[in-house]
Structure 1
Amino acid sequence: MNRKILCTKLEIKLILSIIFSFIIACTIFILLETIGESILDNHFSKNYFINNQKNTAISNFLKYVSDNKLKIDDKDKITEWVRKEKYVNLYIYKDNHLVYNSDINDATIYYGKTVENPLMPSGSLYEVKFGDTAAKMYMECFFQYKYYYIVSIFDGTIAFLSFILIMLIFIKRKTTYIGKLENELKILEGGNLNHEITISGKDELTSLAQGINEMRKSFIERLDSENKAYVANSELVTAMSHDLRTPLTALVGYLDIIEYKKYNTDESLRQYIHNSREKAYQIKYLSDKLFEYFTVFNTNADDLELETFDGNELLEQLVEEQIFILEDNGFNFKIVPCNTAFHIEVNLISIRRVFDNIFSNIIKYGDKRKPINIKYCIQDQLLTINIENKINNNLKAVSSTGIGLKTCKKIMEGHNGKIVAEKQNDIFSVEISLSIKS
């Protein structure tokens, strides 16, 4: 199984912190060792500590021989004493023959051979009286080593504790951050989605915090969007129910008159039938608009199949389709086309639906005596389409749910564009903005 040794930034930081802690610990150990050895060297060179320890050890050995009445051949008991003392080497001579050497593991006694220690200074031999004979002994002492060992152990302990402390500081920082993230998640779980997640550092924990924060923001946006959609749909249903109830009530009334023959003449019958057909078509128009609205709002932007078109040709085609209808209804128009070549990526069916909605409203509410102004231009990689007409003030008051405009806005959002409709001084204007393809 192939696996990278360093997978994450957090692992790299952990390894670097171990290396850093080890270097600091080694530095502390070397520094303390140098200081400790210097102090011990200075101490041992200025006093008679070693000589005092050596004299004490010699006295203890002579007393040990005397108290136990040792003979010169009792090498096991002599070795036992040497091992107990730890920091001495003992040499025993008889007639200039080395008969005992504590440096030799099996304490072999050499007979028949003269062994003289050339390093042994004159007068460093001490008289020792065994139970069976007298002999000479020479003792080497290393009592100062005990203190060097103690200093080394102390220095090593301090260095190890320093290593652990530095590692704990690093780990504590991370665990504190993890604990903070845990507490902030509990705040989010409690419903306070406005609480910002703390983002610190540059590792996987930071990425995790950023991810949680982005998820929090997305969730807030989604809730806001759902609330707006809920309010809009509630308003729409309320308005549509009112708009549908009015013609439906009239239709039922007309049909009751026809069913129960409450009309007086055949002309009245034809009028009631005509009125019934008008109300039925009005109900059909409203239901079609409602169906169109829910179809658009239940379609995701990603589901739109976008195609690339020549911008001028597409707009010319869309406007010409509406011009025929406008002329049939007695409207005049002025067009200011765009002289810049460009391409645009749209869903043709959806964009045609936007134009149909806009111009159907113009036919319904526009003043035929004033021309409809249509202008489109390119600026900063953005196509802007302006449509403007005068409102007919002679029409009877007509209630509108605004469902067509809401549908257009949803379609434009799916194209990453926007549509803005304004009414000012009896002038109704619509501005459509779309990004052009580079």
Structure 2
Amino acid sequence: MIKHFFNKLSIQISAIIILFGALGMTVFCFLYSYREDFFEFSQEMGIISENTEAYAINIENQLIDNNVSINDVDTIDSILGISEIYSVNLYNKADNLSITGSYATMLDNLLVGYTVYDTDAIYNGDVYHTDIELEDGTIEMYVYSYAIAKMVVPYLVFSIIIALLIFLIPTFLFIKRKVHHIENLKNDVTYLSQGDLNHPISINSNDEIGELSHQINNLRLILKDNFATEEANRKANYDLVTALSHDLRTPLTSLMGYLDIIRLKKYKNEDQYNLYLNNSIDKVNQINELANKMFEYFLVFSKEQDTELTKMSLGVIYEYIIENIGVLEGHGFIINKNLKPTNSFIRGNINLIKRIINNIFSNLLKYAENNETVHISMISDENNLKLVFKNKKKYSTNYIESNQIGLKSVQQMLKIHDGTFMIVDNEDNFTVTITIPLIK
């Protein structure tokens, strides 16, 4: 159950996003929490160059060269100006009161300020102190360098990129793999659409794509079997029609001969005339019977998929068999009955079942030796109904059922019922065994 749950593509995608999203966020938090170590390492390696002393000396020289007074704050502020990385504080050494100062503008950046507010590597960086002697007093100057703050934004960008790569690369590879499976499926279906039913559908995963591939492959196999069956049926029907045309030609030729004799009045007497006339009627009956059986066969075959089956009691079959046995006995046949009906059921079509039984008894009436016992049994076990008809064959008959088209119709109708049909035809005896599955 759990394995089937994780085979769902939506669950897999969600799991990938959650897992590697959380992993990327964890890596970002780790890098952010160790930012001070990185800044200290950058200072030690001299990645960011700074020259606080030179900056301070430059300010000192400008204050002295311009003879600035301690109280001329505006001039001092103009000399200090604005710096991106240096903060300056000026104090009157006489009373230790602040005169003025400047603030590193980089620290006004919200992202930088929030990142470095508690970072000792930045706030406890390089500090330069000096006393400046002016005409009206001495100034103490403190210059603070925040040059390392320049690394804040690149470091944050680097951390974000690493976190995104940890999230995006596995997600991209997973999606790329699934897209590859879809492309393979598309290529396989292209072969299928072009009529190549021998090309297998690749099944590369256990998710919905794999299930779809499995179902399409099953469809391919079903289509292949159906086409093979259809081709076999087409060939069988062609062979049957070819053979039937030959079987029809034989009585037709005889019929035409008899009719020509009658038309040309080549008979010698009334008895010979009646003989030719009766033979003509016999040939017409043969042709009519062959045509009917051929029509019945193709009618059953064409309606195989549309036949409705319903729950059917074995008692109905038993009664219909008894009725047909009575017809045989009325024609002088000796019947050995072994009929054991039960209260079981089959899924069947009453009309087709009757046609099956009619075909069997019709063959018995025409081809069984009526001086010999005909054995008929109806028995059932837990799973199947079994009907057996065994008779001794006639050696002289006016009707010859070439190609056994009636029995082929029976076989086709039993196929609709998921049943089996077996014939044992030896020199003297003919046995038909029918099996139909029972339902619970």
Please say whether Structure 1 and Structure 2 have the same fold, judged by a TM-score greater than 0.5.
yes
| Distance 1:138-1:434 versus aligned 2 partners, 3 A rule | same
Aligned equivalent of 2:248, options 236, 240, 244: 244
Which residue of structure 2 aligns with residue 55 of structure 1? 53
Match status 1:101 vs 2:105: no
Q: Summarize the alignment of residues 148-167 of structure 1 with structure 2, pairs less than 5 Å apart.
A: 148-167=152-171
Which residue of structure 1 aligns with residue 178 of structure 2? 174
Kindly provide the CA deviation profile for residues 125-148 of structure 1, in whole angstroms up to 9, marking residues without a partner as x: 523478998633222333333335
Which residue of structure 2 aligns with residue 334 of structure 1? 336
Match status 1:139 vs 2:137: no
Which residue of structure 2 aligns with residue 89 of structure 1? 87
Indicate the percent of aligned positions where both proteins have the same amino acid: 30
- The alpha carbon displacement at 1:357 in A equals 1.1
Q: Summarize the alignment of residues 1-400 of structure 1 with structure 2, pairs less than 5 Å apart.
A: 9-33=8-32, 37-41=36-40, 53-62=51-60, 72-74=73-75, 77-78=78-79, 80-82=81-83, 86-94=84-92, 96-103=96-103, 125-128=129-132, 135-309=139-313, 311=314, 313-338=315-340, 340-393=342-395, 398=400, 400=402
Alpha-carbon distance in 1 for matches of 2:309, 2:191: 42
CA contact 2:82–2:104 (8 Å) conserved in 1: no
Letter in structure 2 aligned against 1:328: G
Letter in structure 2 aligned against 1:240: L
Alpha-carbon distance in 2 for matches of 1:64, 1:50: 26
SS in structure 2 of the partner of residue 401 of structure 1: helix
Question: Which deviates further from its counterpart, 215-224 or 13-22?
Answer: 13-22
Alpha-carbon distance in 1 for matches of 2:222, 2:47: 78
| Distance 1:291-1:98 versus aligned 2 partners, 3 A rule | same
| Distance 1:50-1:221 versus aligned 2 partners, 3 A rule | closer
Which residue of structure 2 aligns with residue 116 of structure 1? none
CA contact 2:318–2:341 (8 Å) conserved in 1: no
Letter in structure 2 aligned against 1:264: K
Kindly provide the CA deviation profile for residues 354-378 of structure 1, in whole angstroms up to 9, marking residues without a partner as x: 1111122222222333312222222
Match status 1:409 vs 2:407: no
| Distance 1:366-1:436 versus aligned 2 partners, 3 A rule | same
Letter in structure 1 aligned against 2:225: E
Q: TM-score, normalised by structure 1?
A: 0.81
| Distance 1:349-1:90 versus aligned 2 partners, 3 A rule | same
CA contact 1:72–1:131 (8 Å) conserved in 2: no
Alpha-carbon distance in 1 for matches of 2:219, 2:46: 77
- The alpha carbon displacement at 1:99 in A equals 3.4
Kindly provide the CA deviation profile for residues 178-201 of structure 1, in whole angstroms up to 9, marking residues without a partner as x: 121122223334443122212233
Which residue of structure 2 aligns with residue 112 of structure 1? none
CA contact 2:16–2:171 (8 Å) conserved in 1: yes
| Distance 1:435-1:152 versus aligned 2 partners, 3 A rule | same
| Distance 1:435-1:164 versus aligned 2 partners, 3 A rule | same
| Distance 1:104-1:427 versus aligned 2 partners, 3 A rule | same
- Number of residues of Structure 1 aligned to a counterpart in Structure 2: 409
Kindly provide the CA deviation profile for residues 121-177 of structure 1, in whole angstroms up to 9, marking residues without a partner as x: xx9752347899863322233333333543332222222122221111111110111
Letter in structure 2 aligned against 1:15: S
